[in-house]
Amino acid sequence: MKRRAVIFANGELKKPQELMRYLKPDDFLVAADGGVNHILRLHLQPNLVIGDLDSVTASERTVLERQKAEISQFPCDKDETDLELALQEVISRGFNTIMIAAGLGGRLDQTLGNIFLLLQPQYEKHDIRFEDGKQEVILIRDACEIHGNPGDSVSLLPLLGPVEGIVTEGLKFTLDNETLYPYKTRGISNEIKNTLSKVSIKHGFLLCVHSRKMEEKTNQF
């Protein structure tokens, strides 16, 4: 299935309008519980709302029913977070490309838990990325492409242990079949040189944090 699923979690989305430029008209929009708030603030209509819905207000529920959104409600006492339920659902529906919006920021435990979700073996063949309009977070298992602009920051963070055989293209500081260690900060704050960069690895799990260089707005007099 070529269509992409976009899951709105209940994390921070400080500049929601920045996110809009990365959405596509045919995206399958999913609200993971409180992610409903972000979707409605952007005047979008979710295709699916999933979770225990403890963060969805009565007025939001009325809007969702009026929009005829599909609602899948789970008990509050459950083993999975609402985001994990949403990921399981879109993957079961055949989506291979998934963007998670508002999955970062806010509670540190939730943010780390969201990132560690990507380590699940069943997600290995899927392209799953966090996006908030300013930052993009990708878990690299073998290789990935990073689309950005010169001056954008790229940090490469090893997870669960050393990452071996790292090769980069299009970054200011090149890695050529090298190893990064989780207790060293060598991979922090590299820079994109062109609009396309590539990172590949031979062994391990490498977290890529792509921070876009935002245009500074000057005061007009």
% the chain with pLDDT above 90: 78
Same domain as 157, residue 102: no
Residues 61 and 118 in one domain: yes
In this prediction, residue 16 carries a pLDDT of 85
Both 95 and 178 in one domain: the answer is no
Contact 211, 185 (CB under 8 A): no
Last residue of a domain, one of 80, 107, 133: 133
23 and 104 share one domain: yes
Q: Which residue has the tokens 């780390």?
A: 112
Give yes or no: residues 147 and 116 share one domain.
no
CB 98 within 8 A of CB 4: yes
Distances (CA, A) of 149 to 77, 78, 192: 44, 42, 7
Q: Do 53 and 157 belong together in one domain?
A: no
Whether residue 115 sits in one domain with residue 56 = yes
**End-to-end CA, the chain:** 51
Picking from 131, 175, 139, 177, the residue whose alpha carbon sits closest to that of residue 158 is 139
User: What does the pLDDT average to over 41-47?
Assistant: 94
Whole-Å CA distances, 210 to 79, 164, 189, 191: 31, 20, 9, 9
pLDDT at 82: 93
Q: Does residue 213 come out as left (phi exceeding 0), alpha (psi in the -120 to 50 range) or beta? A: beta
**Phi/psi of residue 39, each to 5°?**
-60, -45
188-215 confidence digits (pLDDT tens): 999 999 999 999 999 999 999 999 987 5
pTM over 0.85, yes/no: yes
pLDDT one-digit tens code per residue, 147-162: 999 999 999 999 999 9
- 29 & 86 share domain: yes
Is it the case that residue 40 has pLDDT exceeding 90? yes
Range of the domain at 174: 136-221
- Count of beta carbons in the 10 Å neighbourhood of residue 203: 14
pLDDT for res 218: 37
Which of 133, 152, 170 is the endpoint of a domain? 133
Do 28 and 67 share a domain, yes or no?
yes
State pLDDT tens for residues 78-119: 889 999 999 999 999 999 999 999 998 878 998 999 999 999
Identify whether residues 157 and 221 lie together within a single domain: yes
pLDDT band, residue 1 (cuts 50/70/90): low
What's the structural domain count of the chain? 2
